[in-house]
Chain A
Amino acid sequence: MQEVRVGTASCGIAAGGLAAYNRFAELLKPDPNRVILKQTGCVGMCFREPLVEIVEDDHRRTLYGEVTSDRVDRIVEEHLRGGRLIQEWVVEEKEFLAKQKRIVLRNCGEIDPFSLEAYQARDGYRALEKVLASLTPEQVIECIAESGLRGRGGAGFPTGTKWRLARAAPDPHKYVICNADEGDPGAFMDRSVLEGDPHSVLEGMAIAGYALGADQGYIYARAEYPQAVHRLRHAIARAEEKNLLGRNIFGRGFHFSIRLKEGAGAFVCGEETALIASIEGKRGMPRVRPPFPVEAGLWGHPTCINNVETLANVPWIILNGAPAFAAFGTERSKGTKVFALAGKVKRGGLVEVPMGITLNEVIYGIGGGTVSGGPFKAVQMGGPSGGCIPASLGDTPIDYENITATGAIMGSGGMVVMDQSTCMVDVARFFLNFTQNESCGKCTFCRIGTKRMLEILERICIGQGEEKDLKILAELGEQIKSSSLCGLGQTAPNPVLTTLRYFYHEYEAHIKEKKCPAKACLALVELYINPELCSGCGLCLKACDSGAISGEKKKPHQIEPSTCVKCGKCITVCRLGAVEKR
């Protein structure tokens, strides 16, 4: 029987995956016994969404890209009924997948996330069964510690150590929390796992619960992920029905239940003490550590907080053994890491690579280089807490220590590629604007210091920067890092500090020459109309409030630089993209 799998993660749906699915359902209704139609999570090749995979009786697979609902008819007619391949729509996976190793994403895109049976058919919940039947909690912790698994939320704390500390806490009432508050703009790894393979996270949590002696787990999911929340809710209910969660699991006297808490939109709640405050129903403000959550966390009880990706690794490690996991990676960073590859890269999407692979291998090998075909300029890692790594460091192996040495951080896995058209000062301003907005306001340096830094960057971007600004930026940055309580403040200056370190000349160009080398800062460029593209429709002329545009109808128009205020309105009204910057 043929199988049709339609990718319906959030990104697939955004591209029209649901409409394609419904069209398949409609067309295939007459012959339900010939074709199975399934939804799956994200296979990771976001650049060709919506994706449809067809699996033949003999397991041969064909992946079609950009299958919007209007393409479905032809696929049903020619491929499913006629047995002919539609060559021009086929997606070549080889290059994209060759360097990847899928542990966390082992089931994403392979199984229907709504089907518990599909997860079980791929060894789902067997790790939990094994743990309950044959391992002591200490042995489980030993296994995780031996595997070398470190926290995938960004900081890289050894998971085994965290579990051991939580287990050792004398209070018998403990909690496991799954941190699914993935807030970095440009990062969507956790969402893909939750949407594509929710049970793997539940199983990981239950194993954690057994290891440290907790009977209650919480998942704190980001409010902006309605799909993930929906699928998690469904998965929890199914697992409870089958007694894979709840009381006396597998008849072994172990109780564990999971509750889902939706966040309400606050970036700082990704920080563990703020997250706990938020679950308790308060304003999500971080507090001083110690005591650490493993000693006194949720409602004052010992609490172990792990990230989605960390937990999704756990069942695989239990089943395949710690040495199999530790075989991947470098000496101090074991296993794989999932990255959300985006920005000016040709093949953007979700990739899982063994630790130790270089940045160049990911960007050129898997991502296919930049959209423009030229070399990349920088890659931003770690989101607003991370930094920009220049192309000259493209041979840096990806592991916690090496990435930290560049001034960026491993972070949760956002990897945004930037090319020559990206202004690094502007990018620094963008991230600082983000953290400035998201600062909870508790620590003075984070609250006011970031504001002052942002003001300076804004001045630089409009050509009013002074030379002493750069020194002040660096000084303030260091002070904010050393005088903030939580991770948000301690890392907020990173995007500025790394760009200062690697792209000092761009700051100088903005300040001394009043020029933006990337031609991104509107105030520092000259707008002109490309006569070859302009049709003389007059839209820009009408839109221009300062009367800087002139020209006869149906003939190319011109912008008078001396009266142009560079508001950019002409760019937004032009239908032909004829307004350019120089």
Chain B
Amino acid sequence: MAEIITEVHQPGTLPAFGRMLWRHRDEPGMLIPLLQAAQDTYSYIPPLAIEQIAEVTGIPSSEVYGVITFYKQFRLQPLGQHVIKMCKGTACYVSGAVTMGQTIEDELGVAPDENTEDGLFTLLVVACLGCCSLAPVVMIDDQAYGKLTPDKLRKILRQYRKQAEAGAGGGRQPW
């Protein structure tokens, strides 16, 4: 009998940034994995990490910064407690993703790639979460919510807020 599993990728499962930096410093092509490790450790890429990478690998920090800004995955700002990924793939788009986006912005007062003032939510717009049959889809942390209506979505968002106010947390831990 199989064990109960929770094998979805969790932050913090990559080898810690510092260890990785020293182990792979001379390997070519390691810049992106290093940045991924840094982001996995800190939830964003802090200026200190850029400096450290530049110093240890010898890649100029301007080049490191260039790579960071080229790829959408990398952030220079820390994440909020809950990360909302709003899908704007084709299937979601034709099924009302724009209205969902408006609903989130209206409910939380937050624009894409921003954090709410209280640091509770970060809103990210993503190209496709790959669950097109459940469109429109919004993912909060690792939980996907599908076949949404503005009303359902508001209720879900309020639930998270309520939980946070009650101090229950239950979501992503701030590191």
Is B48 part of the contact surface with A, judged by Cβ < 8 Å?
Answer: no
Query: Is B23 located at the chain interface by the 8 A CB criterion?
Result: no
Q: Is B94 within 8 A of A344, CB to CB?
A: yes
User: Once the chains are docked, how many angstroms separate the CA of A343 from the CA of B89?
Assistant: 10
Stretch at the interface among A160-168, A223-231, A450-458, A486-494: A223-231
Residues of B within 8 A of A299 (CB): 28
Q: How far is the CB of B146 from chain A (nearest CB, A)?
A: 6
Given A226-B8, A264-B73: A343 touches B36 (CB 8 Å cut-off): no
Q: Which of B76-84, B133-141, B158-166, B167-175 lies at the interface?
A: B133-141
Tell whether, in the assembled complex, residue B2 and residue A25 are in contact, meaning their CB atoms are under 8 Å apart: yes
Q: 1/0 per position for A32-74, CB-CB distance to B under 8 A?
A: 1000011100000011010000000000000000000000000
Across-interface contacts of A226 in B (CB, < 8 A): 8-9
Complex CA gap A188/B9 in Å reads 19
Q: Is B108 an interface residue (CB 8 A)?
A: no
A/B pair count, beta carbons within 8 Å: 178
Known: A187-B128, A191-B130. A25 touches B8 (CB 8 A): no
Q: Are A281 and B90 in contact, CB atoms less than 8 angstroms apart? A: no
- Cα–Cα distance between A574 and B103 once the two chains are bound (Å): 11
> A265 to B71, Cβ gap below 8 A?
yes
A354 to B151, alpha carbons, bound, how many Å?
A: 42
Residue A462 interfacial (CB < 8 Å): no
Known contacts A14-B144, A266-B70, A572-B150; A343 and B131 CB within 8 A of each other: no
How far, in angstroms, from A573 to B150 measured CA to CA in the complex? 7
Is B56 interfacial (CB 8 A cutoff)?
Answer: no
The verdict on A305 contacting chain B, using a C-beta distance below 8 Å, is: no
A contact residues around B132 at 8 Å (CB):
11, 46, 186, 188, 340, 342-343, 348, 416
Q: B135 to nearest A CB, angstroms? A: 7
- Report which of A10, A343, A422 forms a contact with B130, defined as CB distance below 8 A: A10
Task: Write out the residue numbers on chain A whose beta carbons fall within 8 Å of the beta carbon of B67.
Answer: 281-283
Majority SS at the chain A contact face = mixed
Please determine whether A264 and B35 come into contact, CB atoms closer than 8 angstroms: yes
Checking B3, B4, B91, B126 against A342 with a beta-carbon cut-off of 8 angstroms, the contacting residue is B91
Question: Which of A185, A225, A574 is within 8 Å of B90, CB to CB?
Answer: A185
Contact with B along A144-181 (1 / 0, CB 8 A): 00000000000000000000000000000000000000
Contact at B8–A18, with CB atoms within 8 Å?
yes
Q: Which residues of A contact B7 (CB under 8 A)?
A: 230
Q: Does B127 contact A (CB under 8 A)?
A: yes
Nearest residue, chain B, Cβ from A371: B95
Q: How many angstroms from the CA of A431 to the CA of B13 in the assembled complex? A: 35
A418 within 8 A of B: yes
Q: Are A430 and B90 in contact (CB under 8 A)?
A: yes
The reply on B30 being an interface residue by CB < 8 A is: yes
**In the complex, A7 has a CB within 8 A of chain B:** no
Binary contact track A248-263/B, C-beta < 8 Å → 1, others 0: 0000000000000111
Task: For A262, list chain B residues within 8 Å (CB).
Answer: 32-33, 36
Q: Would you list which residues of chain B between 1 and 18 have a CB under 8 Å from chain A? A: 1-9
Residue of chain A at shortest CB distance from B72: A265
Cα(A262)–Cα(B35), bound, Å: 11
9 nearest A-B residue pairs (beta carbon): A186-B90, A14-B144, A265-B72, A264-B71, A185-B89, A226-B9, A342-B132, A46-B133, A281-B31
Beyond the given pairs A10-B130, A47-B133, 19 more chain A to chain B contacts, judged by CB atoms under 8 angstroms and listed by A's residue number, are: A14-B129, A22-B5, A32-B1, A37-B1, A38-B2, A49-B131, A49-B134, A188-B132, A224-B128, A261-B32, A263-B71, A265-B72, A266-B70, A342-B132, A343-B95, A416-B132, A427-B94, A430-B93, A431-B90
- Which residues of chain A have a CB within 8 Å of any CB of chain B? 10-11, 13-15, 18, 21-22, 25-26, 28-29, 32, 37-39, 46-47, 49, 183-188, 191, 223-227, 229-230, 261-267, 278-284, 299, 340, 342-344, 348-349, 380, 383, 414, 416, 418, 422, 427, 430-431, 434, 440, 543, 568-569, 571-575, 577
Chain B residues in the interface with A (C-beta under 8 A): 1-9, 28-33, 35-36, 66-67, 70-74, 88-91, 93-95, 99, 102-103, 106, 126-135, 137, 139, 144, 146, 149-151, 154
Ordered by A's residue number, 18 sampled pairs between the chains whose C-beta atoms are within 8 Å are A15-B131, A25-B2, A29-B1, A37-B2, A185-B90, A185-B128, A186-B89, A186-B128, A188-B128, A264-B74, A265-B71, A281-B31, A281-B32, A283-B67, A284-B71, A344-B95, A427-B94, A568-B99
